Amino acid sequence: MRYWLVKSEPDVYSWDRLVREGETVWDGVRNYQARNNLRDMRKGDQVLFYHSNNGMEVVGIAVVSKESFPDPGSDNPAWLAVCLKPWQALKKPLALTLMKQTPELSQLGLIRQGRLSVMPVSPEEFNLICSLGGHP
């Protein structure tokens, strides 16, 4: 089991919409590093869902429901998509400012490489984020 974090602007695609729809195709990634991370996702991996720009907090945990396939929105087979399903909302969304104040999270990709939209998260980081988010 591996752990990941994806970013989404809530005005474009929010956690609530993912919950409403039950599953979504996570496409439109046009960055090679992020693409490589999509490629490495396996069914059942857990994915932190972060709202960028508007919100700036981790709001929930999703699960990879389908491993990578060619992005249906692109003619270029180099670009990939996965499917995500919502699993659980965090009881307390975890703000970026709080994560920045947490020494154990100082190596988080979200903080170190602000523009990357799909990134791996270590098990330790994942567990800490869950517990800070009020998750048992």
Partner DNA sequence: GCCAACGTTGGC
**What does the binding site for DNA look like in residue numbers (CB under 7 A)?**
7, 9, 31-33, 52-53, 56, 96-97, 100, 110, 113-117
How would you classify the pairing of strands 3-8 and 46-51? parallel
Let me know the angle formed at the C-alpha of 124 by 49 and 45, rounded to the nearest 5 degrees: 45
Euclidean distance between CA atoms 117 and 24, whole angstroms? 16
- CB-wise, 63 or 116, nearer to DNA? 116
Q: Chain centroid to CA 58: how far?
A: 9
Q: How far is the CB of 103 from DNA (least distance, A)?
A: 16
Count each helix (H run) and each strand (E run) in the chain, helices first.
5, 6
Is the Cβ of residue 44 or residue 106 nearer to DNA in the bound state? 106
* Tokens linked to 126: 């994942």
Q: Which residue number, 17 or 43, has a Cβ lying nearer to DNA? A: 17
What's the min distance (Å) between Cβ of 11 and DNA?
11
Cβ 27 to DNA, closest distance in Å? 13
C-beta of 136: minimal distance to DNA in Å?
A: 27
Looking at the Cβ atoms of 108 and 136, the one nearer to DNA is 108
Measured CA to CA, the distance from residue 111 to residue 105 in angstroms comes to 8
